[in-house]
Structure 1
Amino acid sequence: MPATRGTAVMRPQLPSARRAAAALLAAAALLTGCGDDGAVDGVRLPPEGARVDYQLGGPYPPSDGVEVVIRDVTAEPVPDRYGICYVNAFQTQPGTLEQWRREHDDLLLRDDDGELVTDPDWPDEALLDTSTEANREALAGVVGADLERCARAGFAAVEPDNLDSWTRSHGLLDDADNLAFAALLAERAHELGLAIAQKNAPELGAAGRDTAHLDFAIAEECEVHDECAAYADVYGRHVIEIEYADNGRDAFAAACADRGEEISVLLRDRDVLPAGADGYVAQWC
């Protein structure tokens, strides 16, 4: 689910700096191996710079001009829009912890006292244990069923969340564990004809693309945390940036000024509420 992180606002670049940033984005795009049709490794990537709607809090008809809609694995894609399917791939999906404990208890991460390791911001989400090859293979079968559901429903891509779960594992997992698991998910996604996103984790550098074979990036609050260049350096214009309204509007305004003509930038309420709900926010550059 959406990350809860600290705040630090980047200042807007001057016009000359923005032109330089655009040149870097264009150069990075050449490194991704994407052709003019937006396809790589036989899958279709989201259109560059498209208007994106992040609908994890519940599906609703997208507004005019929206080309890409991200919905939960339990929802259906929007016809005639590029659909991205959200899967909580490195932690248990909300509401499923008891099922995991019944059916796959040995695949849940536990500390030295045998207690489940959970996400501090989402205590109903237990971390999956990616620390061994056997576990990763077993998990790929379980999470792979969600990827198959995404493909059957007609989504074009998948967003496997919590790639950075090792940072919440108290040292029980590391980035190599999660990259190896991500590579298995990418292999399965590509077999199903799905593109696959790197969700957050800018500290991986190019490893998400080169080691795990991920195709594009979905970055939360990268303006607030001064991380956006890390994604552009790897994925070029194939980046979807999501900023949250509770950080104030300055970060969103700076993101639009710096990158709004190059990549997809969206302002959303942190609970990603459905349109019409009290507190709903959705704004584009």
Structure 2
Amino acid sequence: MRSTAGGTRAWGRVLCAALLLPALLAGCGTDAGTAPEAADGTGGQEETAEHWRPEPGVDWQWQLSGRVDTSVDAPVYDIDGFDQDAKTVAALHGGDRKVICYLSTGAWEDFRPDAEEFPASVRGRSNGWEGEWWLDIRRTDVLEPLMETRVEMCAKKGFDAVEPDNMDGYLNDTGFPLTARDQLRYNRLVADLAHRHGMAVGLKNDLPQIPELVDDFDFAVNEQCAQYEECDELTPFIDAGKAVFHAEYELPVADFCPESRELRLSSLLKKYELGVWRRAC
């Protein structure tokens, strides 16, 4: 979902409930955007870490609703961590894909199997979607073990990375007096949890804090930066050799793909329900 100060624009999530990397993508390796083995055997920057790090420009598919279509010709998939099982992840790996685990880390969802484990004291105001409320991210004593259990679930299912959503509560009317410092602390905690379990992690939206968080995250996930004329704010990730997975919902591809190619973003046109349908730049 996309959220902004003064209100929530909750795009990109409906609550109802390739196989080869294109050769034209400059700078990408042979494994879903990972750099190839270096001559000295170190594997370069992308292989020195214990977890995957996608490079700028790598293509992707983002599907958070419906039965996952594993036939889409994209080397990176981003799918729901609760709804999808280890067999789906394994099937995607069998097609030489990397797989990202979508989780909500900044909002409570009453439809998740662990919902009752979140005390009422950490639940704030609605984030604009039925069944979702902002979390008091200051309460890391409560949230850290809960989020670690979720991240561990992703790792056990075989995911390569985590996409933690609702990571910019401090910009919204959450019901809690959250500050930018609170958000930095919490976002770094979530990044550390993913790394602790051997997975990459992406910064979801939260554009104002990119300069401070780019070193803590392995890629970015952004919604509608072209529509809101914000895409330049994502360049610190590109400059660091890290992918920016970007989606638009309302602009035709002709309006944002030229800039996306110039900035080396991994851009898609998607429908709000984030089903199978996509148009890649």
**TM-score bucket of the superposed structures, by smaller chain:** 0.7 to 0.9
What CA deviation, in whole Å up to 9, does each residue of 1:185-217 have, x standing for no partner? 22221111001110001111311234xx22211
- The aligned residue for residue 266 of structure 1 is 268
Q: Against the structure 1 CA distance between its residues 128 and 106, is the aligned structure 2 distance closer, same or farther, given a 3 Å change threshold?
A: same
Match of 1:233 among 209, 222, 236: 236
Partner of 2:222: 219
Gap change, CA 1:220 and 1:183, over 3 Å in 2 = same
Amino acid at match of 2:192: E
Computed over aligned residues only, the root mean square deviation of the Cα atoms, in angstroms, reads 2.6
- Cα deviation digits, residues 233-278 of structure 1 (max 9, x gap): 244342333333333444333444533xx331111111112x3xxx
Secondary structure at 1:65's aligned position in 2?
Answer: coil
Say which SS state the counterpart of residue 127 (structure 1) adopts: strand
Paired with 1:230 and 1:208, the residues of 2 have a C-alpha distance of: 13
Checking the alignment, whether the CA contact within 8 Å between 1:108 and 1:126 is kept in structure 2 is no
CA contact (8 A) 2:237 2:244 kept: no
2:278 aligns with 282
Amino acid at match of 2:220: A
Which residue number in structure 2 is paired with residue 70 of structure 1? 78
> SS at the partner of 1:214?
coil
- The 2-side partners of 1:173 and 1:87 are apart by 21
1:205 to 202, 210, 216: 210
CA contact 2:58–2:243 (8 Å) conserved in 1 = no
Matched AA of 1:282: R
Counterpart of 1:138 (choices 128, 136, 142) is 142
CA distance in 1, matches of 2:109, 2:175: 20
Task: Answer yes or no: is 1:189 the counterpart of 2:194.
Answer: yes
Q: Report if aligned partners of 2:2, 2:9 keep a CA contact under 8 Å in 1.
A: no
Whether contact under 8 Å (2:238, 2:244) holds in the other structure is no
Structure 1 residue 123: Cα displacement: 3.6
Aligned position for 1:108: 122
Q: Distance in 2 between matches of 1:272 and 1:2?
A: 13
Q: 1:47: how far off?
A: 4.1
| Secondary structure at 1:160 match in 2 | strand
Shift in alpha-carbon separation, 1:270–1:64, aligned structure 2, 3 A: closer
| In structure 2, C-alpha distance between the alignment counterparts of 1:40 and 1:178, rounded to whole Å | 29
Query: Aligned residue for 1:128?
Result: 135
> In terms of mean alpha carbon deviation, does 165-174 or 44-53 score higher?
165-174
Work out which of the residue numbers 125, 146, 150 in structure 2 matches 1:117. Answer: 125
TM-score, reference length from structure 2 = 0.74
Consecutive unaligned residues in structure 1, runs of 5 or more: 7-21, 23-34, 110-115, 276-280
Q: Deviations over 1:59-98 (max 9, x none)?
A: 423345310000001213222310000000000136139x
Equivalent pair of 1:221/1:241 in contact (CA under 8 Å): no
Name the SS for the 2:202 alignment partner.
Answer: strand
Distance in structure 1 (CA, Å) of the matches to 2:78 and 2:253: 22
Cα pair 1:140 1:181 within 8 Å, conserved: no
SS in 1 for 2:214: helix
Given that 1:200 and 1:218 are in contact with CA atoms closer than 8 Å, whether structure 2 keeps it comes out as yes
Inter-partner Cα distance in structure 2 for 1:88 and 1:149:
13
How many equivalent residue pairs? 236
Tell me the SS of whatever aligns to 1:251: helix
> 1:197 & 1:40 partners in 2: Cα distance?
18
